[in-house]
Amino acid sequence: MIHLDWPWMVLALPLPWLCRRYFPASQPVQEAIFVPFFAQLQFSNHDTDNPAPKIYHLLFTVLWILLVLSAMRPQWLGQPQALPGAGRKLMLAVDVSGSMATQDMAHQTSRLEVVKQVAGSFIAHRHGDQIGLIVFGTHPYLQTPLTLDTQAANDFLQHAMIGEAGTQTAIGDAIGLALKRLNSSHSAGSALLILLTDGGNDAGLMPPIDAARIAAANHLRIYTIGVGAAVEPGFFGTSGNTDLDEPTLQAIAKITGGLYFRATDARALQSVYSRIDQLEPVKGHNLWYQPRQEYFAWPLTLALLLSLPLVLLGRRA
């Protein structure tokens, strides 16, 4: 819609008429020759032989209207848009080690692909939170720094690849990197880490329990998620995810005040993220912004263009 930001400038519209009405132009003094009918002669000359004054006054009127319109600052207001406010600082640490290629949580779909679908949906509606992403294997890497752009964080998650961080699992180092990034953003008291893995800590420099204690001392709450099919004994031995170190993941969550969840398939993983959503609701609030496009330049440009013939006609008048 069209909007005038300074509508009160319309009060300037009658200024030229008021000036002409109450401050008339001084009459020229004729000192050399007195002509009784000079006024009639001058009037007749302007009306019949030189039509410039009429055009001059018309152009001046249009120019002044354009200047006043420009001063009123016409704008085009777009649709209001929601801007996310600052809420929680939420870091996701996702295991991309070689075992995440196992297809046991959904038909012909790797564990990582299931995580991408479910965690991506979780990220998408966390408007108001700052989301960061760490992928870890033998080493942890910061895939996405904390950002309010949930779409960008989700895009980086969808581009995560199995084995890009190595084939082993460094849970302790992943916690350490998350703590470092969250502390650098001054997030004490509102920081969360959701750590997802399908294995046990078999790489890295920092033991997971020690990392959990440091996280607890810095008020970082950790929710841990173990993924992979349930272990089932069979005729040929056990099947399912036998590498998952559930006691360590449970200890990490307990030390930091979080919870441990077990997800054996895509539906269970969806329930896990829904439960975390309930436990840690979005704290941010939407701020509204209405984009504006200024149009004052158009009447101002027309006024400048009209000033050229106005000057020329003024010389002839």
pLDDT in tens, the chain (317 residues): 788 888 999 998 888 888 877 876 665 555 554 545 445 544 444 444 455 577 878 888 888 899 999 999 999 888 776 555 556 889 999 999 999 999 888 878 899 999 999 999 999 888 878 899 999 999 999 999 998 888 999 999 999 999 999 999 999 999 999 999 988 765 444 789 999 999 899 999 999 999 999 999 999 999 999 998 876 554 444 555 678 999 999 999 999 999 999 999 999 999 999 999 999 887 655 566 678 888 888 988 888 888 888 777 665 55
The pLDDT of residue 184: 73
Report yes or no: 230 and 263 within 8 Å, Cβ to Cβ: no
> What distance in Å separates the CA atoms of residue 314 and residue 317, rounded to the nearest whole number?
5
* Residue length of the chain: 317
Side-chain-side CA neighbours of residue 202 (13 Å): 16
**188 backbone φψ class: left, alpha, beta (φ>0; ψ -120 to 50):** beta
> What distance in Å separates the CA atoms of residue 262 and residue 250, rounded to the nearest whole number?
10
The pLDDT of residue 115: 94
pTM of the model: 0.63
Report yes or no: 260 and 108 within 8 Å, Cβ to Cβ: no
The pLDDT of residue 152: 92
Helix (H) or strand (E) holding 76: strand 74-77
The pLDDT of residue 52: 56
> What distance in Å separates the CA atoms of residue 38 and residue 256, rounded to the nearest whole number?
102
Q: Would you tell me how many other CB atoms lie within 10 Å of the CB of residue 5? A: 13
The pLDDT of residue 260: 96
Q: Going by C-beta distance under 8 Å and a sequence separation of 6 or more, which residues neighbour residue 58? A: none
* Phi, psi at 152, each rounded to 5°: -65, -45
Domain 84-287 sits in which CATH superfamily? von Willebrand factor, type A domain (3.40.50.410)
Partners of 83 in beta bridges: 287
Residues of the chain with CATH 3.40.50.410: 84-287
> What distance in Å separates the CA atoms of residue 85 and residue 279, rounded to the nearest whole number?
20
